[in-house]
Amino acid sequence: MFDLDIFDIKLNTDYIGRNFIYADEVSSTNTLLMDKKSGYNVNGTVMLAEKQTKGKGRKDRVWQSEPNSNLTFSILLTKEELLFKKPNLINFAAALSIANSIENLYQLKTELKWPNDVLIDGKKISGILLESASQGSTIERLVIGIGINVNQNSLQGIFNYPPSSIRIELGRIVEREKLLAEFLNNFEALLEKIKNDKGDIIEDWKAKCRMIGEKISIIENEKEKFGIFYDVDEEGFLILKTKDGLEKIHFGDVGLG
């Protein structure tokens, strides 16, 4: 069970998670919050589900998660003009907030993998799927979907990267309520920084990415490319250094080359 009282005591936000929906089973928290007709329209709404029958990962992958063990949730943003000008930064802010929350609460060293995975000891603990709906060129609605492997003690299936959980890495079960509240507190603070042009999310993200400077391979649009992970630019794109020069990569799966 997820103890709503513990979560409530720890939540220290103005609007993120103040409208909180706890569901036993849904198709996908992202799909529901993306659908205007489902009736969820309050900015900052968070939906947490114990089970998703169609949990989505990046690149049409399935997100698998054992019920009652982990955190699978989505955050809805509406009418956030300042944030919607920089959607990529929201991705980076979410990854950083997950990493910082895990370090603050459990003193586990985390690492970030482009574009938005959180790793512990080289294994994937969390992934993020950002979806948005636009009217013309303006984003109207944006959903940040997050899966964190928290208390699951074995992970089987097909993954793009070796998976693990906080419990496996720490050696004990942790309170999901405290982790979710800590994350939402940190995330709202970073969103405020983006809105006010304070701090540098990309620089903070880069400081936690050990792959920068390494030889990597990257699969973009089914094509594998090799080079050095040279940098991440101000928009969040990966800059790959190849024998032909610098190349901007918009999406892709990075591996060590």
> Toward ligand BTN, which CB reaches closer, 74 or 186?
74
Amino acid, res. 27: S
Give the shortest CB-241-to-ligand BTN separation in angstroms.
Answer: 26
> Toward ligand BTN, which CB reaches closer, 27 or 242?
27
Give the shortest CB-166-to-ligand BTN separation in angstroms.
Answer: 15
What DSSP element (H or E) covers 69? none
Contact residues toward ligand BTN (CB under 6 A) are: 28-30, 52, 55-58, 61, 63, 72-74, 117, 127-129, 145-147
Sign of the dihedral through C-alpha 210, 188, 75, 88: negative
> Toward ligand BTN, which CB reaches closer, 73 or 229?
73
> Toward ligand BTN, which CB reaches closer, 50 or 188?
50
Give the shortest CB-242-to-ligand BTN separation in angstroms.
Answer: 26
Give the shortest CB-57-to-ligand BTN separation in angstroms.
Answer: 3
User: Tokens for 25?
Assistant: 């089973």
Give the shortest CB-204-to-ligand BTN separation in angstroms.
Answer: 20
Peptide bond preceding 115: is omega within 30 degrees of 0, i.e. cis?
yes
Assess contact for 63 and 49: CB atoms under 8 A.
no
Give the shortest CB-197-to-ligand BTN separation in angstroms.
Answer: 28
User: Tokens for 233?
Assistant: 């630019």
> Toward ligand BTN, which CB reaches closer, 28 or 186?
28
CA of 127: how far to CAs of 58, 67, 160, 199, 227, in Å? 8, 17, 11, 24, 24
> Toward ligand BTN, which CB reaches closer, 23 or 228?
23
Cα–Cα dist 190/112, whole Å: 16
Phi, psi of 205 (to 5 degrees): -65, -45
What DSSP element (H or E) covers 8? helix 4-10
CA of 231: how far to CAs of 117, 141, 222, 253, in Å? 17, 30, 22, 16
Cα–Cα dist 200/190, whole Å: 10
Which residue's beta carbon is nearest to the bound ligand BTN? 127
> Toward ligand BTN, which CB reaches closer, 86 or 124?
124
Cα–Cα dist 219/204, whole Å: 25
Give the shortest CB-32-to-ligand BTN separation in angstroms.
Answer: 9
